[in-house]
Amino acid sequence: MYTFSSKLKTFSFVLMAVGLLGIGYGFWTAPKDIQEVEALLAADSHGGHGEAKHEAAAPAHDSETTHEVASAEHAKVATDKHDVKEDSEHKEHLEHVFHQLSNKPWAALYVACIFFMLLSMGTLVFYAIQQVAQAGWSPVLFRVMQGITSYLPVGSVIFFIFLVLCGLHFNHLFIWLDPEVVAHDKIIANKAGYLNFPFWIVRAVIFLLGWNAYRYFSRKNCLAQDESDDNSFYKKNFNISAMFLVFFIVTESIMSWDWIMSIDPHWSSTLFGWYVFASFFVSGITTIAMVTVYLKSRGYLENVNTSHIHDLAKFMFGISVFWTYLWFSQFMLIWYANIPEEITYFITRIQVYNLPFFGAVVMNFLFPILILINTDFKRITWILVMAGVSILLGHYIDFFNMIMPGTVGGSWFIGISEIASVLFFLGLFIFVVFSALTKVPLLPKRNPYIEESKHFHY
């Protein structure tokens, strides 16, 4: 049995407390009205910084501002006087920046919230695949995976509350939730059959309930299998895992449209679902490796040897490359064809998010491929931890890149709101996962493949 070290528990509470304070600070300092933004921009524009920022932000926000730009055009035609036009443009700009800045703490919270929830989802999918593939190496890690997925119900509840808050107009993350915007935007109005709050929230309920139901029953059967005298629970788990994987791949795709792609409702990509999947799948596998390495170093996993670690490292390596393949395929196809309605997505990211956009490729591809390609390195703990930290941070940045440009645009910054949100969810994640690990023995007793797994050697 695992005992939650008091140091780690204190650490997770500190993370949560610091995170909460930072999140509160982020909301406290977000501008409350246009006047505050005006004062902010005036203070910013000393030395011409404000103008430069304005230029950069303008192309970033065409999806959000199409109707605003259209009304600006109207103003231009109606009044031929220069000062009036300039005045109205200035007002448009202020409103635009105000929306971005008031979105910022919400978006920071959203990125961290969805990242940690999907990370435990990635673990759950990996676990289901291991069950269905009847893998002989991984049963000694099943309890670790179940521990990590125990974050899923907690994360789902928080995430669902967040979605409801979006629907109640507490924030402006999903512009299609704003009837004002939809009324002026034909493209979004045409998608209203799919992008409307009731349908959207019902889909979220179905997905989250489906995933959590699998997690609940799979764990229950796995524990019942320990006490049983035949393999019926094992077979049950095999069946529900196979059904879950089918359910998952459909819901995952829709989930990625609903929760991430709809932030940019003027843009679409067909491989987006796979791309998002690869991102959180590799994060999930990396988390398994990190938690395993931690528990092993504390002496709790006597049956886990370097071959198990090596296998996890190979998965981290392989799926990192897979993520890059999808990242590049999505980028290159759109870059190559250069169709205006698609390319704006990447123009924003390259011009306004240059470092995070390409930095994510370095952290998620270049670094892991160079250090995890070596067989010996895959067994060395500190190298594995280094690669894992890079992959996890890199995929946080990846989610940041997917969500921020459509919500805060040019006003992005990795500051207190962003870091505090990550710290809060990290603390919660550590607390929930390691509490769950103390509940049951770390070694399944009578899994049919447990003996093979104990003696796994590569």
Partner 1 sequence: MSNKVIYAIYNDDDILMDAVKKTRAAHHHIEEVFTPFPVHGLDKAMGLAPTRLAICAFIYGLCGLSFGTWMMNFIMIQDWPQDIGGKPSFSYIDNMPAFVPIMFEETVFFAAHLMVITFYMRSRLWPFKEAENPDVRTTDDHFLMEVAVNNNEEELISFFEGTGAVEVKVIDKH
CA distance 83 to 85: 5
17 belongs to the binding site for partner 1 (CB under 8 A):
no
Handedness of CA 317, 318, 323, 329 (dihedral sign): positive
Q: Please state, as a whole number, how many other Cβ atoms lie within 10 Å of the Cβ of residue 193.
A: 8
Name the minimum Å distance from CB 353 to partner 1. Answer: 17
Residue 179 token pair: 């009837």
336 belongs to the binding site for partner 1 (CB under 8 A):
yes
> Is the Cβ of residue 11 or residue 322 nearer to partner 1 in the bound state?
322
Is residue 78 within 8 A of residue 426, CB to CB? The reply is: no
Q: How far is CA 113 from CA 399, 403, 404, in A?
A: 11, 12, 14
244 belongs to the binding site for partner 1 (CB under 8 A):
no
Name the minimum Å distance from CB 385 to partner 1. Answer: 23
| Cα 141 off chain centre by | 24
Window 301-330: contact mask with partner 1 (x via CB under 8 A): ---------------------------x--
375 belongs to the binding site for partner 1 (CB under 8 A):
yes
Residue reference for tokens 């669902």: 160
| Cα 293 off chain centre by | 23
> Is the Cβ of residue 199 or residue 328 nearer to partner 1 in the bound state?
328
Determine which residue in the list 11, 217, 247, 335 makes contact with partner 1, applying CB under 8 A.
335
Name the minimum Å distance from CB 113 to partner 1. Answer: 32
Name the minimum Å distance from CB 349 to partner 1. Answer: 14
Determine which residue in the list 331, 425, 429, 434 makes contact with partner 1, applying CB under 8 A.
331
CA angle at residue 19 from 16 to 21, to 5 degrees? 110
Is residue 104 within 8 A of residue 417, CB to CB? The reply is: yes
DSSP summary character for residue 139: G
> Is the Cβ of residue 199 or residue 358 nearer to partner 1 in the bound state?
358
> Is the Cβ of residue 334 or residue 393 nearer to partner 1 in the bound state?
334
What angle, rounded to 10 degrees, do the helices at 151-167 and 197-227 form? 170
Determine which residue in the list 10, 232, 338, 381 makes contact with partner 1, applying CB under 8 A.
338
> Is the Cβ of residue 226 or residue 342 nearer to partner 1 in the bound state?
342
354 belongs to the binding site for partner 1 (CB under 8 A):
no
Q: Which amino acid is at 402?
A: M
Handedness of CA 371, 375, 379, 380 (dihedral sign): negative
Span 29-48, contacts to partner 1 by CB under 8 A: none
Window 132-171: contact mask with partner 1 (x via CB under 8 A): ----------------------------------------
Given the rule CB under 8 A, which residues bind partner 1? 328, 331-332, 335-336, 338, 373, 375
